[in-house]
Structure 1
Amino acid sequence: MNRVSVFLMVLVLCTNSFFSKGQNSEYKINTIVIDAGHGGKDPGAIGKHSYEKNIVLSIALKTGNYIKENFPDIKVVYTRDTDVFIPLQERPEIANRCKADLFISIHANSLKNNTRTYGTETFILGLHKSEDNLAVAMKENSVMLYEDDYSNKYEGFNPKDPASYIIFNLMHSLHIDNSTSMAQHTEYQFKSRVGRQSRGVKAAELWVLRKASMPSVLIEVGFISNPKEEKFLLSEKGQDYMASGIFRAFRSYKEEIERHSSRTLVIKKTEVADTNSDEVCFCIQVKSSSKRIPLNSKVFEGLGTIEEHLINGVYKYSVGHSTNLKTVINKKREIKRRVSDCFIVAYYKGNPISIKEAKNIQKS
């Protein structure tokens, strides 16, 4: 492993996204993938008069049309534009192959024996903090049960077994800040402009988001188990309103992140593993902030060597850099006593990558 010396400052000009896309000096959104949940043999949630798959397909197509009309230079890709079944693992892979800058998965919710609950909610990838969030994750992940040999395809994951969700503990949160931003813009638009009841931004272990290599959100546009909300979501007007809300959220998100340069600033206080080397480097992210935090701040006291990255206007701070994942996992246990929400990230040749990709590179 190459090593770098004290106080080395490296300025890296990134590409059009987190994963090298060119030599542009500014971050621009070029491609967006819109995923209409379920489809074909999988109806999704079932209301008294509707299927989730039909409602979300209409909203997805309308959202894409709004984007095309207002941003003709942006490529809009649909995971499906008709009533067909798309395997769960294929949906984020479509986004990955397109090298998309944003992945939006659109769904509708439902509760058994409950016609009173209503409202929108937008999910990002993360560990669930309530049984309700886990229930949503189980519902959306259960799509894989429609596929042959799903256990092998999804690495033994059982969407109905709470124990399976432990695997998400090591999932990196590289895009958590941008995903959260898109989710917040979405819920704001639903509440303030569309006049819907917002149930807020939430985190859950959603497979469709786990496999996406870009900022991503899963939007639940409402509960079709609620008669009033089902009627709204079935109407042309209601679908137009929800699509325009998602579009306006995307427009605000786009404006926000494109205000920032895609330059990444790395400051190293002392000798640490080089995240720009040809070897995979693992580390523990302990803090992120829209404002720069001095490296000698008390918030980092006792954590060891701090590395700072400025990515699209968000400062990210990490510790415990090593080429050995087990070493970093052990280090995380120690850091977690001080920073409860810390998580592991990986870098390769100066680019952030997923933990799974890092393992594959090390095996090859």
Structure 2
Amino acid sequence: MAKFKVLIDPGHGGKDPGAVDNGLLEKDIALKVSLGIKARLEAAYEDVQVLLSRSTDVFLELKERTNKANAAGADILVSIHCNAGGGKGGFETFRYTSASQSSIKLQDTLHKAIMSKLGGIDRGQKAKNLHMVRESKMPAVLTENLFVDVAADADRLKQASVIDAIIDGHVLGIASYLGLAKTKEDKPVTQERDINVPSSWAKETWEALTKKGFFDGTRPGAPITREEMAIVVNRVLKYVD
């Protein structure tokens, strides 16, 4: 059983597209980012389970989202959004107006991690009376990942590398806040070779040099010591003479 539960909430969905402009739908970007966060966080770190308020293009009331997080006993909640109506665009985060110290710490850690990956205009860490951060019983933050109605931001949101940066920033921030340990890297499985059988690519040469007396024909796949090398060199020199 995972030590930590993280609830990722892809904003909007279904009949509610969220912000729409420049050929982008906020609900689609939010879902893509959220699915990416779940996949990468669970793959890269130990003791964490990522729950999603929605994993497909469906509509959920705000209350359904926070109810799901509260019922699951999630340790943190992060609601994923894109913005609109923001002039020059950029990235910003929100916590509740009367946020706990834990929520403030989560916001600070998450905000800085995402900005380190995303770059661009930093609109700051803000507080607002939003349902997702007010009704959740755990530290909660809402991220606004660029503006769909600002041409420069919209162009960025259409780039896979920028979506990756947003995902990686969230993963980094969540892992840092929770103090997650990296998953142990799997060592490549290698088949132990039979040292008594020459490799196919060296078989012909091995047999030829064995016939000439440079080697005794045993253990072709074994490492050679400096002493053994001296003997082989001596044999070669005698052969040349």
Tell me if both proteins adopt one fold, taking TM over 0.5 as the criterion. yes
Is the 8 Å Cα contact of residues 118 and 162 (structure 2) preserved in structure 1? Answer: no
1:48 lines up with 2:19 in the alignment: no
Determine helix, strand or coil for the equivalent of 2:143.
Answer: strand
- Give 1:30 deviation, angstroms: 1.4
Which residue number in structure 2 is paired with residue 215 of structure 1?
139
Task: Please give the residue correspondences for 1:211-250 in structure 2 after superposition, counting only pairs within 5 Å.
Answer: 211-250=135-174
CA RMSD of aligned residues (A): 1.7
- Give 1:29 deviation, angstroms: 5.1
Which residue number in structure 2 is paired with residue 117 of structure 1?
88
Aligned residues: 179
- Give 1:72 deviation, angstroms: 4.2
Is the 8 Å Cα contact of residues 209 and 217 (structure 1) preserved in structure 2? Answer: yes
Cα offsets for 1:103-157 (capped at 9, x unmatched): 000000001xx6x42111110011xxxxxxxxxxxxxxxxxxxxxxxxxxxxxxx
Structure 1 letter corresponding to 2:16: D
| TM-aligned CA distance change 1:121 to 1:29, over 3 Å | farther
Determine helix, strand or coil for the equivalent of 1:89.
Answer: helix
- Give 1:231 deviation, angstroms: 1.6
Is the 8 Å Cα contact of residues 79 and 142 (structure 2) preserved in structure 1? Answer: yes
Q: TM-score, normalised by structure 2?
A: 0.70
Cα offsets for 1:255-288 (capped at 9, x unmatched): 29xxxxxxxxxxxxxxxxxxxxxxxxxxxxxxxx
- Give 1:194 deviation, angstroms: 2.4
- Give 1:237 deviation, angstroms: 1.5
1 CA distance for matches of 2:27 and 2:126? 22
Which residue number in structure 1 is paired with residue 105 of structure 2?
181
Which residue number in structure 1 is paired with residue 80 of structure 2?
106
- Give 1:71 deviation, angstroms: 2.2
2 CA distance for matches of 1:108 and 1:29? 30
Determine helix, strand or coil for the equivalent of 1:105.
Answer: strand
Structure having the higher helix fraction is: 2
Is the 8 Å Cα contact of residues 147 and 153 (structure 2) preserved in structure 1? Answer: yes
Gaps of 5+ in 2: 181-241
1 CA distance for matches of 2:100 and 2:155? 34
Which residue number in structure 1 is paired with residue 60 of structure 2?
86
- Give 1:190 deviation, angstroms: 2.8
Task: Please give the residue correspondences for 1:56-67 in structure 2 after superposition, counting only pairs within 5 Å.
Answer: 56-67=30-41
2 CA distance for matches of 1:224 and 1:117? 11
Cα offsets for 1:44-70 (capped at 9, x unmatched): 011121110001110111111111112
Structure 1 letter corresponding to 2:51: V
| TM-aligned CA distance change 1:196 to 1:185, over 3 Å | farther
Task: Please give the residue correspondences for 1:91-170 in structure 2 after superposition, counting only pairs within 5 Å.
Answer: 91-111=65-85, 116-126=87-97
2 CA distance for matches of 1:235 and 1:194? 12
Structure 2 letter corresponding to 1:193: K
Is the 8 Å Cα contact of residues 117 and 168 (structure 2) preserved in structure 1? Answer: no
1 CA distance for matches of 2:51 and 2:79? 12
1:37 lines up with 2:20 in the alignment: no
% identity of equivalent residues: 33
Determine helix, strand or coil for the equivalent of 1:193.
Answer: helix
| TM-aligned CA distance change 1:29 to 1:45, over 3 Å | farther
2 CA distance for matches of 1:103 and 1:187? 14
Structure 2 letter corresponding to 1:202: K
2 CA distance for matches of 1:209 and 1:191? 21
Return structure 1 stretches of 4+ with deviation > 6 angstroms: none
Structure having the higher strand fraction is: 1
Q: TM-score, normalised by structure 1?
A: 0.47
1 CA distance for matches of 2:175 and 2:104? 15
Which residue number in structure 2 is paired with residue 282 of structure 1?
none
Is the 8 Å Cα contact of residues 190 and 197 (structure 1) preserved in structure 2? Answer: no
Which residue number in structure 1 is paired with residue 202 of structure 2?
none
1 CA distance for matches of 2:45 and 2:28? 26
